[in-house]
Amino acid sequence: MAVAAGQLTAEAPRATTQEIDDRRLGIVGAGKLGTTLARAAVAAGYDVAISGSGPSDDIALTIDVLAPGAHAATTNEVAGHADVIVLAVPTHRFRELQPDLFADKVLIDATNYWPPVDGDDPELADAPEGTSTIVQQHFPSARLVKSLNQLGYHQLEENQLPHGAPNRIAIGAAGDDQLAVRTVMRLLEHLGFDPVDAGPLKNGVALEPDGSPIATTYNAEQLAERIPR
Amino acid sequence: MIATLEFGLDTFVPLTVDDAGLPIDGDQVIRNTVEEAVLAEAVGIDSFNIGEHYRPEFMDSAGHVILAAIAGRTDRIRLGTAVTVLSTRDPVRLYTEFATLDAVSKGRAQLIVGRGSAVESFPLFGFDLADYEELYEEKLDLLVRLLREQPVTWSGRFRPPLTNQVVSPPIATGHIPTWVGVGGSPQSVVRAARFGLPLMLAIIGGRPERFAPYVELYKRALEEHGQPKLPVGLHTLGFVAATDEEAVRIQWPYYKEQFERAAEERGWRPPTYEQFLAEVDHGSMYVGSPETVARRIAEVVRTLDLSRFHLHYAIGRIPHEQRMAMIDLFGREVIPRARELLAATPEPDTTLAAGGRS
């Protein structure tokens, strides 16, 4: 069951006349997280396009083996393929992407700042309202939602449960655009997790992992308690 | 691949305690490790492989020196790394060290190159983590050239160029087996295939069978890159004692201690006993009696179609005496029993492992 996180400030949703097509999903990043997410999304019935860095033949082969049913594409093609895009790259690499690439798209920031991979990055390390606010600044026209960053990649696949199952693992979604957040919550539901509305993007700090090699998981009630009101 | 299945022991040369629970000095730990390798040869284990870390709790910062000492005390066991942190090493120096080890050991040197689990070497030796990918590709390229085709003419971004360079000593057998250690990133798997190097999977948590698709990816990538069929190995964690209960009873407190220390430093929640037992039951802790461990090894060898199984033995500060007892059991009981179980069954069913795709 989705649980709301208390009173949200009344922010006007981003103006759009377009309905969000959430039968399609784009994924930028074909590493462990991206390929696992692609596989899970294909199994949940999504039309998935995914891009990665490296020779396109290698990416196509990787997708063919690890996420059959998803199609490998360039990042530009992925951005055009769907209204909902997941950023699944090492965090610091968001800076390599054009700021207007995801204009008006729901952009799910699934990344976590992780110094062994990102290196020493003061901007990300110091972000007082969470790393997703930094990502939003880089993509000002995107409708950022921080989500899908809380679990280890293998947990996304192994810990899915059907709707209504007791102690379903909860995943939070934090964003300033109400419609975008609700769209992401539907995706989380389809992937087999209890979605929790975590409020505005700056609440994303509460969703950031503590760095432990084994991700701590929460059910919906427990996660809702961790969100600032 | 099963016919040539090899078993190895891997260690980071951790500081240990004595059987009264008091810490032992690092230099003694290094000498104890040499004894452990000598015993490993005596009980028929195929290789002994040392990691590379720059941390206060691991004494493996110059593993090649320890391997050379082991070479002087043994005749047959292969001597390797688990892993060489290639990005922050100079390939020319790495070649000189291991070509020399190969010479003193009469052809027993081997390498696994990879990222390793720690990153201290980057700031220590003046490298930027953000350059990791480029550093790794460039150095792997140079290392492979030095191993395969001297004299070498080469240039890159991170070290001075080479022009018709010969680096001594030559490798008598003409070949040092060099594998790529991979933690599960698809890109690394494909890279190993592109370079035509065998693949060593490091699986230190979770169900090993979830890596079956990565083995399939590796095999397909080899084909796509016009490479021959190459072997796959597994590096994973474990401890063996006479019974399952005794193995868990010995290993758990040291596992707990090691992770609790890290958790305290960094604000994590440490793993629970239940999580540990789950890993022991079906995850990546091969902890138990010889029969239990042999069965789990046979199963994973089949599932992942392995040619090498490397056990990172005894996690944490387990005393030297218990490590020796464990090595004895591993060589004399676990390995023969695993081979027996594998011989009794048909070839690995890789169609199952790859989710029904042949």
pLDDT at A199: 94
**What confidence tens digit (pLDDT) does each residue in B54-111 have?**
999 999 999 999 999 999 999 999 999 999 999 999 999 999 999 999 999 999 999 9
Task: With beta carbons under 8 A apart, name residues in chain B contacting A92.
Answer: 130
The residue-averaged pLDDT of B286-301 equals 98
Nearest 10 degrees: CA dihedral of B191, B192, B195, B196? -140
Average pLDDT, rounded, for chain B: 93
For B40, other C-beta atoms within 10 Å of its C-beta total 25
Best mutation target, B217, B279, B282, B358, to test chain A (most A CBs within 10 A) = B217
pLDDT at A12: 41
Interface of A with B (CB under 8 A): 30-32, 35, 52-54, 57-58, 61-62, 64-66, 68, 92, 115-120, 154, 157-158, 210-214, 216
**What confidence tens digit (pLDDT) does each residue in B99-131 have?**
999 999 999 999 999 987 778 999 999 998 888
Q: Which residues of B323-350 are buried (b: 16+ CB within 10 A; e: fewer)?
A: bebbbebbbebbbebbbebbeeeeebeb
Q: Residue B1 above 50 pLDDT?
A: no
Kindly report the nearest CA distance between residue B136 and chain A, in angstroms.
Answer: 13
How confident is residue B357, by pLDDT bands cut at 50, 70 and 90?
very low
**What confidence tens digit (pLDDT) does each residue in B156-192 have?**
999 999 999 999 999 998 889 999 999 989 999 999 9
The residue-averaged pLDDT of B12-25 equals 95
Q: How far apart are CA A57 and CA A49, in angstroms?
A: 15
Residue B85 forms beta bridges with which residues? B114
Share of chain A above pLDDT 70, in %: 90
Q: Is B42 on the interface with A (CB under 8 A)?
A: no
**What confidence tens digit (pLDDT) does each residue in A114-161 have?**
877 787 888 998 888 899 999 999 999 999 999 999 988 888 888 899
Closest to A212 (Cβ–Cβ): which among B186, B190, B268? B268
Cβ separation A65–B217 shorter than 8 A: yes
- Alpha carbon A213 to chain centroid, angstroms: 19
Tokens of B196: 């035509």
pLDDT at B346: 63
Task: With beta carbons under 8 A apart, name residues in chain B contacting A114.
Answer: none
Least confident of A9-18, A48-57, B5-14, B184-193: A9-18
Q: Is B192 on the interface with A (CB under 8 A)?
A: no
The residue-averaged pLDDT of B221-225 equals 96
Spatial CB neighbours of A151, under 8 Å, sequence gap ≥ 6: A159, A169, A171, A215, A217
For A212, other C-beta atoms within 10 Å of its C-beta total 17
Q: What is the DSSP letter of A7?
A: P
Q: How far apart are CA B63 and CA B46, in angstroms?
A: 18
Closest to A61 (Cβ–Cβ): which among B129, B205, B221? B221
Q: What is the distance between the terminal CA atoms of chain A, rounded to a whole angstrom?
A: 20
**What confidence tens digit (pLDDT) does each residue in A155-206 have?**
888 889 998 888 899 999 999 999 999 999 999 999 999 999 999 999 998 8
Q: What is the distance between the terminal CA atoms of chain B, rounded to a whole angstrom?
A: 17
Least confident of A57-71, B125-139, B323-337: B125-139
Q: Residue A29 above 80 pLDDT?
A: yes
Spatial CB neighbours of B41, under 8 Å, sequence gap ≥ 6: B48, B74, B75, B76, B77
pLDDT at B266: 67
Cβ separation B130–A92 shorter than 8 A: yes
Tell me which H or E stretch contains B347: none
pLDDT at A148: 94
Cβ separation A212–B269 shorter than 8 A: yes
Q: Residue B265 above 90 pLDDT?
A: no
Residue B79 forms beta bridges with which residues? B48, B109
- A36, A14 contact by CB (below 8 A): no
How confident is residue B139, by pLDDT bands cut at 50, 70 and 90?
very high
Q: Residue B260 above 90 pLDDT?
A: no
